[in-house]
Amino acid sequence: MNFCSHCGEQVIQRIPEGDSRLRYVCEHCHTIHYQNPNIVAGSVPVWEGKVLLCRRAIEPRLGFWTLPAGFMENGESVEQAARRETVEEACATLNNMQLYTLIDVPHISQVHVFYRAELTSEDFAAGVESLEVQLFDEADIPWDELAFHTVRRTLEWFFADRQKGVFPVHSDCLPVSRPPTPT
């Protein structure tokens, strides 16, 4: 960040009084610019025991499979964001949404939240961010072609929980990526 989004003056980095983290601060208008994690909201859409996946038409991970998900927008709830993303990526609507997974992804400053849900119908299609959408039985999930670790983890929990007949809310944190140690 170079300039204040409030007044347009140049910003500096410093630890504001009463804080413990380096922040961008405008010395002209005294605005502190906080940078917070982004929330990714999505769903595990199910129809007659099969899970709906989308093949990504955008980077990152173009051509890989994912659950419908994307960044939460200002002014919406996490559940609303998950519904919207499912419509945008799979042209599908959902019923009976239940919070299912919350996975911290600190190395990219994101939190991924997935809801377990039922498709309202078999009426779905690829949205503008998807090359194709398809229902998969557990045995047919393209595990080696999944786009993200959070999607893999969510699907692993889903199929394990389905066998038990109990769907608790799961929480996890992906390891923080560290650069390789020089040898």
Same structural domain, 79 and 167? yes
The string of pLDDT tens digits covering residues 121-145 is: 999 999 999 999 999 999 999 999 9
Same structural domain, 44 and 130? yes
114 vs 170: CA distance, rounded Å: 10
Arithmetic mean of pLDDT, 36-57: 98
- 178, part of any domain: no
Per-residue model confidence (pLDDT) at position 28: 97
Arithmetic mean of pLDDT, 86-90: 98
77 vs 32: CA distance, rounded Å: 25
Same structural domain, 29 and 59? no
- Looking up residue 19, the CATH number of its domain turns out to be 2.20.70.10
Tokens of 81: 């964001």
**Is the pLDDT assigned to residue 178 strictly greater than 70?**
no
Same structural domain, 157 and 105? yes
Same structural domain, 28 and 62? no
Is the CA virtual torsion 161, 164, 165, 171 positive or negative? Answer: negative
Same structural domain, 83 and 12? no
- Looking up residue 62, the CATH number of its domain turns out to be 3.90.79.10
Give the number of domains in the chain: 2
Mean per-residue pLDDT of the chain? 96
> Which domain does 30 fall in, by range?
7-35
- 167, part of any domain: yes
Per-residue model confidence (pLDDT) at position 176: 77
**Is the pLDDT assigned to residue 183 strictly greater than 60?**
no
Backbone angles phi, psi at 97, to 5 degrees: -75, 130
Per-residue model confidence (pLDDT) at position 57: 98
- 115, part of any domain: yes
- For residue 104, the cross-strand partners are 111, 173
